[in-house]
Structure 1
Amino acid sequence: MILHNEMANAIRMLAADSVQTANSGHPGAPMGMAEMAVALWGEHLAHNPADPAWPNRDRFVLSNGHASMLVYALLHLTGYQLPMDELKRFRQLHSKTPGHPEAHITPGVETTTGPLGQGLANAVGMALAEKLMADHFNQDDFPVVDHYTYCFVGDGCLMEGISHEACSLAGALELGKLIVLYDSNGISIDGQITPWFGDDTAERFRAYGWHVIEGIDGHDVDAVSRAIASAKSTPTPSFLVCNTHIGAGSPNRVNTARAHGEPLGENELKLVREQLNWASAPFVIPEKIRQAWDNTAKGEKAQASWARMMHNYAKAHPDLYNEFNRRQTGELPDDFEAKAANHMAQTCQQAQTMATRKASQNCLNALAPDLPELLGGSADLTGSNLTNFTDCGAVRAGEKGGRHVNYGVREFAMAAIMNGLALHGGMRPYGGTFAVFSDYSRNAIRMSALMRLPVVHVLTHDSIGLGEDGPTHQPIEHAWSLRAIPDLDTWRPCDALETSVAWVCALRQRKRPSALLLSRQNLPAMVTEAAQQLGAFKGGYSLYQSEKFKVRVLLIATGSEVHVARIAANQLESQNIGVRIVSMPCTNLFDRQSQEYRAKVLMMERGDSVLRIAIEAGCTQGWWKYVGFKGDVMGIDTFGESGPAVELFQHFGLTTQHVVNRVLQRLEHNEPANTEVDDVTL
């Protein structure tokens, strides 16, 4: 008991001293959750500090990420490569101890948290990944995937609506290896939460189908440990209500909002040391306590035991063993490129008119059977998003083999759960909704980009082309809103082949998410030549160029507007005006190409002698960097309207005739034609 107290106080002092040194941070939550951490990390969590990526480790998620000093203290004390100097550099530029935990920066941090509630949803994804991987790989006497996902949450996480979305689904799927410990301290930034958070939280989780244990003294290590042991034996997810005091150990800040997000101050720190009977100087841990926390030997022993089992597993089930290792590395199967090339060749040959959402499903049907890690889903729009594929099967509680998740009307949770699936390893998740509803899931999409996770967001009904559902369902600003997220590739393909290119690029990515904006309406085949196909893999390329006339107009378009531009080119050529059409399905990828390539595609060597006009059924703001001040953009900078798609394109001025008229006006069409022919090669 005494050692438990000292172990907890080590966390308290490291948190308080680090925040004080940085003059910034949140000491209260780590101080309040210290005994919870001792119970979990000291007695239950299976992990190896020498190998933070050990596949069969238990996952720990700190959803209330402002309490980051809790996990940094734990990682340091248990033996991870996080030296004390990094704790002294808490919240400093380029330290391994940023203000909120960031995956891939700090060894041992499983996910980036800070936006409250998303860590909890990430944990649901990790637990789902564990279940699906276990269903696929575990054999008699070989439980090669057998671990728990633990998550600490605070009041703020549970106020966020995403907690309802994610935990409702977790209960329905009976994710029994998910254990959530609730730091119930009754305090948030604005003070006592009772006036604005009066939920019966325990009953709420019982209603989800969770195993709930209430009334746990969160400052009693043995009580918390017993609750965790009970939770590990239940077939449903568990919710442990741990009653704590924020800022425990601080005589004047305990149970106050001031403990939440500001340093305690030097005078209060002295009082904390006196109350805790902590004689050590800042950042000094007595050797007895350090040894009690060190998990190096225990972790190496646990991983070594698992490795011996894997050695025998390799002999008994070599194919599964090889697949397991491949999926852990994130590498695609050896024959992926050949099968992708074959599918694209067939798509070129068929040259069918179809909606790009249907082309996406065709691509999944061609590639998914040989990508067992690919896990699909939809936010209650499977028949519209077409995210299912032949014989994919549904993920259901008590059943094995499903590869498609019915997320229900839970866009935000779906995106955050997919992040958890990707973080776990061994899974490549994608999920669908309407493009306009990416607003619901935007912060989780942003988090997937921040964490550089290869998640695919399938966003259909990409424009006013969806028609009669009207402005509530018609995305206007969404394409550029998504393109603005760093490290996210946003695709808006013009036909079936570009859709396949988008999928292949998304699947090749190992450290970048993708968003695929796909049409509801049918689009004609536009891309057939191999050279054009290769150009699509660069995000933007010359789709068509006049052979008889020198180019005077360069039309840049995406999605359904590429066909509009192509027909406009024919009409302009009938008036002796040469045209180049640039299809730019992914501006993000195009922008990563060499300056030489981009300049050549956009004919920058011709300067302002070429009129550049961008055409897209969405807001215009992002296109000006490609067309220049003397160029033009045809788009929509208002909300949409309800009506048939054909009428809407006419109403918003995005038809072939509108394009032709705009070009003629800008060229002041009395100018004589130049019939000298350009070089059409790129």
Structure 2
Amino acid sequence: MQQPVIAAPQARLCADALRFLAVDAVEKANSGHPGLPMGAADCAFALWGNFLNFNPSEPRWANRDRFVLSAGHGSMLLYSLLHLFGYDLPLDELKNFRQWDSKTPGHPEFGHTVGVEVTTGPLGQGFANGVGMAIASKMAAERFNTAEFSPITHTIYGLVGDGCLQEGISYEATALAGHLKLGNIVYIYDSNSITIEGKTDLAWSEDVTGRFNACGWHVQSIDGHDYGQITAAIAAAKAETGRPSLIIATTHIAYGSPKCQGSSGAHGAPLGKDEVAATRANLGWQHAPFEVPQEVKDVCAQRVEDLKLRHKAWQDGFEVWYTTNPERAVLWDQMWNKPLGPELADELVAAVAGKDGATRVLSGAVQQKVAALVPALAGGSADLAPSNNSDIKGSPSVQAGAFAGRNLHFGIREHAMGAVMNGMALYGCFIPYGATFLVFSDYCRPTIRLSALMKQQAIYIFTHDSFFVGEDGPTHQPIEHVASLRMIPGLQVIRPADGLETAMAWVAALRYAQGPTTLILTRQKLPVIARPAGFDKADVLKGGYPVVTTDGTPDAVIMASGSEVHVAVEAATTLTARGIKLSVISVPCLEQFMAQPQSYRDEILPAGVPRIAFEAGRGESWGRVLGCEGLFIGIEHFGASAPGEVLAEKFGFTAPQVAEKIAAFLGKA
């Protein structure tokens, strides 16, 4: 087993430095969570000082160990670690904790602070993100490692808390990690038995050891303030490569505080001036606020120099590997850089050219072409792949000990599925996708929100997109979900109307590297949409474009998405025969459409022309383009169990019914 490189007295001094940097920052901000950093400092320093492989000068090094602070409210612990170990996070940033424009926000934010691997705060998410990183690492190692040199050898470490384990997402992720035997995970559970309301036994009496044992994890229990026990446990966990590891470290929240140690009050409030002074005296810390002893600086600096030598050795080996393994080198560049060829749109459209069908089926056909062109694409479904049409054909399933494939089986775990996708995206080598029914997007909404917040490219495939699901009834008929998803900033919500739009939806998802995309797909078959002469498929990427035009100014403009576009076209044809001129705009992505120049939107939505929006869902999101005077044709109640064609008639969604509603709106009934 690996022996600690830092002696116990020095480690204790460094841990105390972490404690008081956190205490001082929270005190200065008069806001924050000092209790966790004070209690977990011994474990955190033991890990970073002896085991974690990183290089602060190359913070995105592919083979770095990942450290996930799942209990994100303890952010000052992470910021203090980053500062002490040489990341570009100067002391002034710690002094500006939780202040405007600082690099030390209240919870860690990926992309905002160097060295932060994942945005954490919603408890349990980081736990599941780490599982995604571990899966990605196993898959990457299978693709790149050789007998001569292994570019991927790192470990996913995490610090999790009582709240992380109480959230249901952690159980979903625990079960999946155990099933896949992810021996590259080492999580330290900061078991301080305190939550905001008091002792955890108010609402929790779970046998955590039993739970993780049952899920196939390697479990150890230690005193989280005993340096020898901590380092021995981490070494044993790292040596256990056949199972993920949990180290249950019993700690004291607000360790060292005479009045606050072991109290819930220390969770989310400063200690107070007098208690800070008492804690300094109790722990023998004779240093001013934010003062780091020179011995601590020296210990951390020496550790960083040693780690830079390790990084240099890896870099030298990688350069030889890259030269002597040209096929793997090409794949490395394709997967880490994710280039998209100039003919992508043409090739994806060709996969479904002229074909009608359910957009879930058409998406599956497009996805096969995407998989052939983009080796970074990998993912799966929450036990619905046959319905979602989401498997990559010809690729094996990812299972324990077999990570060469691209098809993941998330099980019936939508929440963890989304978080695993985020972890894979954050890892950096994959474009992950996950599929389920649209109505179950509620189960993974928190992870979708975090995808958008972190600006991670994750593709959510949501099928069975409206009450046209039919006989399964209202529990399976999403009515409010599209409108709800459109409320998430930075999320592309794309609801294609036919094969061509489905192909271009995939193009948009692949090109959108700054955030997530949801593909909203039908269960029922749809016809091919006829488009006017001169149509350019690139117009689909504008989010809205004309599919029916008129000579001169129309009497009204109908906007529709997905399965309602062909009905809108039929209704427009009916009304044209009655002398009512209508243009029809297909709007597969409202977000893309609203991002277009005002001049383009004014061109296809002329001022003074009545506007109508038509979609099989709730209409709030259309208000941005309808205004106060427009007409929305949709559904403002739950669905019912009946064949889809019967529901269309009962809910007023047939072309004749839509035509009559439009005529009445225009006063021409």
Report TM bin, short chain. over 0.9
Once the two structures are overlaid, the 10-residue window that deviates more, 621-630 or 67-76, is 621-630
1:38–1:221 Cα contact (<8 Å) kept: no
Question: Secondary structure at the residue paired with 2:613?
Answer: strand
Matched, 1:511 2:526: no
CA deviation after TM superposition for structure 1 residue 358, in Å:
0.6
Matched, 1:112 2:103: no
Which of 316, 336, 345 matches 1:308? 316
Matched, 1:544 2:548: yes
Distance 2:420 2:577 in 1: 53
1:356–1:499 Cα contact (<8 Å) kept: yes
CA deviation after TM superposition for structure 1 residue 527, in Å:
5.3
Deviation track 1:170-195 (CA, whole Å, cap 9, x = no partner) reads 00001100011100111000100113
Deviation track 1:118-144 (CA, whole Å, cap 9, x = no partner) reads 000000000001000000111112111
Matched, 1:182 2:189: yes
Distance 1:337 1:655 in 2: 40
Question: Secondary structure at the residue paired with 1:380?
Answer: coil
1:174–1:397 Cα contact (<8 Å) kept: yes
Matched AA of 2:661: R
CA deviation after TM superposition for structure 1 residue 645, in Å:
0.6
Matched, 1:492 2:495: yes
Structure-to-structure mapping, 1:138-287, within 5 angstroms: 138-214=145-221, 216-234=222-240, 235-287=242-294
Matched AA of 1:539: G
Q: 1:85 to 1:527 in 2, by over 3 A?
A: farther
Distance 2:202 2:573 in 1: 67
CA deviation after TM superposition for structure 1 residue 530, in Å:
6.2
- 2:130 corresponds in structure 1 to 123
Matched AA of 2:589: C
1:57–1:147 Cα contact (<8 Å) kept: yes
1:498–1:527 Cα contact (<8 Å) kept: no
Calculate percent identity across the aligned residue pairs.
Answer: 45
- 1:650 corresponds in structure 2 to 649
Question: Secondary structure at the residue paired with 1:300?
Answer: helix
Structure-to-structure mapping, 1:170-569, within 5 angstroms: 170-214=177-221, 216-234=222-240, 235-294=242-301, 295-329=303-337, 331-333=338-340, 336-345=341-350, 347-348=352-353, 351-526=354-529, 531-547=535-551, 550-569=553-572
Distance 1:380 1:539 in 2: 31
Matched, 1:25 2:29: no
Deviation track 1:228-277 (CA, whole Å, cap 9, x = no partner) reads 11111111100110000000011100000011000000000000110111
CA deviation after TM superposition for structure 1 residue 567, in Å:
0.4
Matched, 1:640 2:648: no
Distance 1:390 1:415 in 2: 22
CA deviation after TM superposition for structure 1 residue 298, in Å:
2.1
Question: Secondary structure at the residue paired with 2:119?
Answer: coil
Matched AA of 2:617: G
Deviation track 1:187-237 (CA, whole Å, cap 9, x = no partner) reads 0001001131100001100000011112x0100122111111111111110
- 1:663 corresponds in structure 2 to 662
Q: 1:191 to 1:77 in 2, by over 3 A?
A: same
1:546–1:573 Cα contact (<8 Å) kept: no
Deviation track 1:575-600 (CA, whole Å, cap 9, x = no partner) reads 11111100000001111111111111
Matched AA of 2:156: T
Deviation track 1:615-647 (CA, whole Å, cap 9, x = no partner) reads 000001121221222210001111111111111
Distance 1:381 1:39 in 2: 43
Distance 2:624 2:220 in 1: 57
Distance 1:346 1:359 in 2: 9
Deviation track 1:5-26 (CA, whole Å, cap 9, x = no partner) reads 1111001100100000000000
2:63–2:152 Cα contact (<8 Å) kept: yes
Which of 584, 599, 602 matches 1:596? 599
1:120–1:151 Cα contact (<8 Å) kept: yes
Q: 1:284 to 1:437 in 2, by over 3 A?
A: same
Once the two structures are overlaid, the 10-residue window that deviates more, 622-631 or 226-235, is 622-631
Question: Secondary structure at the residue paired with 1:337?
Answer: coil
Deviation track 1:261-308 (CA, whole Å, cap 9, x = no partner) reads 000000000001101111111111011111112343123212111110
Deviation track 1:62-95 (CA, whole Å, cap 9, x = no partner) reads 0000000000000000000000000000001111
Once the two structures are overlaid, the 10-residue window that deviates more, 362-371 or 419-428, is 362-371
Matched AA of 1:343: L
CA deviation after TM superposition for structure 1 residue 346, in Å:
5.1
Once the two structures are overlaid, the 10-residue window that deviates more, 364-373 or 175-184, is 364-373
Distance 1:304 1:319 in 2: 24
Deviation track 1:372-431 (CA, whole Å, cap 9, x = no partner) reads 211120001011111112212210111142101110000000000000000011111000
CA deviation after TM superposition for structure 1 residue 438, in Å:
0.5
CA deviation after TM superposition for structure 1 residue 337, in Å:
3.1
Q: 1:472 to 1:586 in 2, by over 3 A?
A: same
Question: Secondary structure at the residue paired with 1:531?
Answer: coil
Once the two structures are overlaid, the 10-residue window that deviates more, 192-201 or 253-262, is 192-201
1:50–1:296 Cα contact (<8 Å) kept: no
Matched AA of 1:306: W
Distance 2:492 2:163 in 1: 31
Which of 100, 118, 121 matches 2:107? 100
CA deviation after TM superposition for structure 1 residue 323, in Å:
2.4
- 2:5 corresponds in structure 1 to none
Question: Secondary structure at the residue paired with 2:342?
Answer: helix
Structure-to-structure mapping, 1:599-614, within 5 angstroms: 599-604=602-607, 607=608, 610-614=609-613
Matched AA of 1:176: G
1:615–1:633 Cα contact (<8 Å) kept: yes
- 1:626 corresponds in structure 2 to 625
Relative to the length of structure 1, the TM-score reads 0.95
Distance 2:279 2:333 in 1: 49
Matched AA of 2:547: L
CA deviation after TM superposition for structure 1 residue 532, in Å:
4.5
CA deviation after TM superposition for structure 1 residue 153, in Å:
0.4
Q: 1:511 to 1:55 in 2, by over 3 A?
A: same
- 2:72 corresponds in structure 1 to 65
Matched AA of 1:195: L
Once the two structures are overlaid, the 10-residue window that deviates more, 409-418 or 650-659, is 650-659
CA deviation after TM superposition for structure 1 residue 353, in Å:
1.5
Question: Secondary structure at the residue paired with 1:576?
Answer: coil
CA deviation after TM superposition for structure 1 residue 59, in Å:
0.2
CA deviation after TM superposition for structure 1 residue 461, in Å:
0.4
1:497–1:527 Cα contact (<8 Å) kept: no
Distance 1:551 1:19 in 2: 62
* Aligned residue pairs, count: 659
Distance 1:667 1:5 in 2: 78
Matched AA of 2:171: H
Distance 2:330 2:77 in 1: 37
Distance 1:48 1:344 in 2: 44
Question: Secondary structure at the residue paired with 1:269?
Answer: helix
Distance 1:461 1:573 in 2: 32
